[in-house]
Structure 1
Amino acid sequence: MTKLLFAVTAADHWTLKDGSKHPTGFWAEELVESHRTFIEAGFDVVVATPGGRAPVVDEGSLSVDANGGDEAKVADQKEYLASIESTLQKPLALEEQKAADFDAIFVPGGHGPMEDLAVSSQFGALVSDFLDGGKLVSTVCHAPAALLPARRSDGAWAFDGYELTGFTDEEETQAGLADVAPWLLETRLRESGAKFSSGAAWGPHIVVDRNLYTGQNPASTKPLADRVVSALS
């Protein structure tokens, strides 16, 4: 059975450049669609967070407006989250996980990873172990921020030269947070050495480079999860 480490942010806020705290967490669609796809594929999905703290959903991600006006979609997300509440309430600690115990790692987004995973040297080391072991690494939307702390002993970025995608500066601007963000994901990834690829704003866009699988935004989640399942089957 394929064993997948499902690494979720434990942050409940994102510190903006003026020091204020913007409420956030994981993005509902990104967690729901990916987790459900992996479970339906028969994977052994292990949910883990920094410190083993229960993750929180970004309430904005459950608004009807954030889901294209689709009330049924929101209801489905709420129902699925309720069905896995016991799992989310008792995640394992990411710091105690080892790449050798898994076949792949997946990180759903939301602004949460920008707050905690993006600055965790421990998580950076874990992701590097997955990468170096030839194991599949996958992130979606803002979660590529979690790749940033993957640094070598000489300071080089483990993903330097990789083609990838993530939430674009254009999308952050359209979402209304670019002006208050302490840093922008696309810009930071490019500065770090990524070959950043983007599709149309808010449309699905997937990039695969070696064992790195990335999706641009919430709409990319299901297609990305399907690609991950195909690659691991």
Structure 2
Amino acid sequence: MFLTQTDPTFSARSFHQCFNLCSSVFNLQTATPGGKPIDFAGVDESTARWVQEFSVKPYANPAKLESIDEPVCAVGQGVAALCCATEEQKWIFSGYSMTGPSVFELVRSPEFANLPLIVEDFIKDNGGSYTASIEDAVHVVLDRHLVTGQNVQSTTAAVNNLILLCNSR
């Protein structure tokens, strides 16, 4: 499971949902750019206890995103974590089809002006193929070992595709 440390809108609720769906089926490892520690944003009463319990588990110590060679699933702004995955100055997902939050979804956020990158633009500018559905609709793209979801609403569909992908190997 990938997390990006640069996105102030990262949802603890979305991660919690993904983790609960996957942990019963997979042995999980988290990954962040450069293996940096996880810092959740958007922690509320419903997720605070879970985040506290999660933080003391072995899988809460992230691996380096760049070293992962297994099936990958990223949802919403979590797709931004894939943008820093490079080898010899080349983006490792160049040539892949994927999705992430659309510009139309992002502009509604008060944090839009402070985003370090726009996922849609990054993918297109670095050799990827980007697609999106209408705002807040479920939209998932599967290409080789990579599953991406457009937004929080796409979380369950993306994780289910990850499970199917892993079961087909």
Shared fold (TM-score, shorter chain, > 0.5): yes
Q: Offset at 1:25?
A: 6.3
In structure 1, C-alpha distance between the alignment counterparts of 2:75 and 2:37, rounded to whole Å: 21
> What is the DSSP-based 3-state SS (H/G/I as helix, E as strand, rest coil) of the residue aligned with 1:8?
coil
In structure 1, C-alpha distance between the alignment counterparts of 2:142 and 2:78, rounded to whole Å: 15
Kindly, what percent of the aligned residue pairs are identical? 21
Structure 2: gaps spanning 5 or more residues: none
Matches within 5 A, 1:95-106: 95=64
In structure 1, C-alpha distance between the alignment counterparts of 2:71 and 2:62, rounded to whole Å: 20
Q: 2:67 is matched with which residue?
A: 126
Match 1:8 to one of 3, 10, 31: 3
Residues 190 and 39 of structure 1: is their aligned pair in 2 closer, same or farther, counting only changes over 3 Å?
same
| CA deviation profile, 1:143-187 (whole Å, cap 9, x unmatched) | 22122222232x332211211000111111122433443432211
Q: 2:144 is matched with which residue?
A: 210
In structure 2, C-alpha distance between the alignment counterparts of 1:54 and 1:144, rounded to whole Å: 15
Q: 1:34 is matched with which residue?
A: 18
In structure 1, C-alpha distance between the alignment counterparts of 2:129 and 2:103, rounded to whole Å: 15
Residues 89 and 218 of structure 1: is their aligned pair in 2 closer, same or farther, counting only changes over 3 Å?
same
Q: 1:174 is matched with which residue?
A: 108
**Large movers: runs of 4+ above 6 Å:** none
Matches within 5 A, 1:157-196: 157-196=91-130
| CA deviation profile, 1:97-143 (whole Å, cap 9, x unmatched) | xxxxxxxxxxxxxxxxxxxxxxxxxx3x324xx1xxxx211111112
Residue type at the aligned position of 1:136: P
TM-score when scaled to structure 2? 0.81
CA RMSD of aligned residues (A): 2.6
Structure 1: gaps spanning 5 or more residues: 1-5, 15-23, 63-74, 96-122
The number of aligned residues is: 164
Residues 204 and 193 of structure 1: is their aligned pair in 2 closer, same or farther, counting only changes over 3 Å?
same
Greater relative CO (CA pairs within 8 A, separation 6+): 2
TM-score when scaled to structure 1? 0.61
In structure 2, C-alpha distance between the alignment counterparts of 1:27 and 1:45, rounded to whole Å: 19
Q: 2:135 is matched with which residue?
A: 201
